[in-house]
């Protein structure tokens, strides 16, 4: 048995990725692929002679193409859906087996840790909540946060940020706003909506609004708006509106 046929057999019968076998034997992938191209022909697709082998090799090629189209981001469940959408009659297990044979592993998108950044030039507000996240009546304690929302089918679309305001008495979402930027304008839009939802300044005067110490909530524009509305700001530690610092 030739080295190339041995590599193909390891992939076909023992599910050993050809990429791994080539490395262990000191054989270049380019050489192995050239051998596959030469060996391909009537009754001998990629050097494999049975109908089952030819079917398996065809599936491997289709899976590899779909994996490339997905930029290596899709695991077997999503790749299976992709192939079914292209007209393939195939099971998820078959796709997973093919990926294993070829050494195809979906990569994860690494996201930024800690969206919140404190402005060290601004003194943080005091903690008026002190881990007591309950309220005896509406409009006594509100909490807010800003979250990054992945967009696009692969999670790599344009960044979108969501700001929220929640009343700790009812746990109701009072205000929500989205923007391409996690700035003071976004926070102002969410708190303005919350105030309107509760009937205006007179209805919420003196409410505590608890957030993290992020620069968005300590920005001059946002703090000035809170003062005009009679909102008392309260902060926990950086990156969490639910913990004290």
Q: Provide the whole-model pTM.
A: 0.52
pLDDT at 114 over 60: no
94 and 48 in a single domain? The answer is: yes
- Over residues 104-116, the mean pLDDT reads 61
CA distance 210 to 126: 10
The tally of domains found in the chain comes to: 2
77 and 191 in a single domain? The answer is: no
| CATH number for 115 | 3.30.420.10
Query: Lowest mean pLDDT: which of 29-33, 182-186, 214-218, 239-243?
Result: 239-243
Predicted pLDDT of residue 46: 42
44 and 163 in a single domain? The answer is: no
- Over residues 50-75, the mean pLDDT reads 81
Bridge partner residues of 208 (DSSP): 141, 232
Q: Which tens digit of pLDDT belongs to each residue from 176-206? A: 999 988 899 999 999 999 999 999 999 999 9
Q: Which tens digit of pLDDT belongs to each residue from 204-214? A: 999 999 998 88
37 and 137 in a single domain? The answer is: no
Query: Lowest mean pLDDT: which of 45-49, 78-82, 109-113, 195-199?
Result: 45-49
pLDDT at 116 over 60: no
Predicted pLDDT of residue 198: 95
Residues whose CB falls within 8 Å of the CB of residue 175, separated by 6 or more in sequence, listed in order = 163, 164, 165, 189, 190, 191, 192, 193, 194, 195, 197
82 and 160 in a single domain? The answer is: no
Question: Is residue 243 very low, low, confident or very high in pLDDT (cuts 50, 70, 90)?
Answer: very low
Predicted pLDDT of residue 115: 54
Predicted pLDDT of residue 45: 41
DSSP type of residue 96: H
Cβ atoms of 122 and 218 within 8 Å: the answer is yes
Task: Report the length, in residues, of the chain.
Answer: 245
135 and 89 in a single domain? The answer is: no
222 and 142 in a single domain? The answer is: yes
Predicted pLDDT of residue 41: 52
146 and 218 in a single domain? The answer is: yes
Share of the chain above pLDDT 90, in %: 33
How distant, in Å, are the alpha carbons of 168, 184, 208, 215, 217 from that of 116? 22, 13, 20, 7, 10
Bridge partner residues of 147 (DSSP): 162
57 and 138 in a single domain? The answer is: no
131 and 223 in a single domain? The answer is: yes
Q: Which residue has the tokens 């899976």?
A: 63
Q: Could you tell me the residue range of the domain that residue 154 belongs to?
A: 110-245
Structure tokens at 108: 């994860």
Question: Is residue 5 very low, low, confident or very high in pLDDT (cuts 50, 70, 90)?
Answer: confident
Question: Is residue 222 very low, low, confident or very high in pLDDT (cuts 50, 70, 90)?
Answer: very high
Predicted pLDDT of residue 108: 66
CA distance 167 to 144: 9
Predicted pLDDT of residue 109: 54
126 and 232 in a single domain? The answer is: yes
pLDDT at 245 over 50: no
H helix count then E strand count, the chain: 10, 5
Average pLDDT, the chain: 81
How wide is the angle at C-alpha 201 spanned by C-alphas 196 and 205, nearest 5°?
Answer: 125
CA distance 34 to 46: 10
Question: Is residue 153 very low, low, confident or very high in pLDDT (cuts 50, 70, 90)?
Answer: low
Query: Lowest mean pLDDT: which of 46-60, 78-92, 107-121?
Result: 107-121
């Amino acid at each position: 048995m030739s080295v190339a046929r041995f590599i193909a057999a390891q992939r076909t019968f023992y599910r050993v990725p050809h990429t791994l076998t080539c490395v262990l034997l000191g054989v270049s992938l380019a050489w192995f692929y050239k051998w596959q191209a030469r060996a391909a022909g009537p009754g001998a697709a990629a050097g494999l002679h049975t109908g089952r082998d030819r079917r398996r090799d065809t599936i491997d090629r289709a899976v590899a193409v779909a994996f490339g189209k997905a930029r290596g981001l899709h695991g077997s469940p999503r790749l299976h859906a992709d192939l079914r959408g292209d007209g393939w009659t195939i099971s998820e297990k078959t796709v997973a087996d093919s990926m294993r044979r070829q050494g195809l592993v979906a990569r994860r998108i690494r996201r930024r840790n800690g969206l919140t950044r404190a402005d060290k030039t601004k003194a943080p507000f005091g903690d008026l909540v002190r881990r007591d996240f309950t309220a005896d009546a509406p409009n006594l304690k509100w909490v807010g946060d800003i979250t990054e929302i992945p967009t696009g089918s692969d999670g790599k679309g344009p960044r979108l940020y969501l700001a929220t305001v929640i009343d700790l008495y009812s746990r109701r979402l009072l205000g929500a706003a989205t923007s391409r930027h996690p700035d003071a304008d976004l926070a102002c839009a969410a708190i303005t909506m919350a105030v309107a939802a509760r009937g205006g300044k007179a209805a919420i005067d003196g409410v505590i609004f608890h957030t993290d110490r992020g620069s968005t909530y300590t920005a001059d524009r946002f703090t000035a708006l809170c003062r005009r509305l009679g909102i008392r700001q309260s902060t926990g530690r950086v990156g969490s509106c639910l913990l004290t610092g």
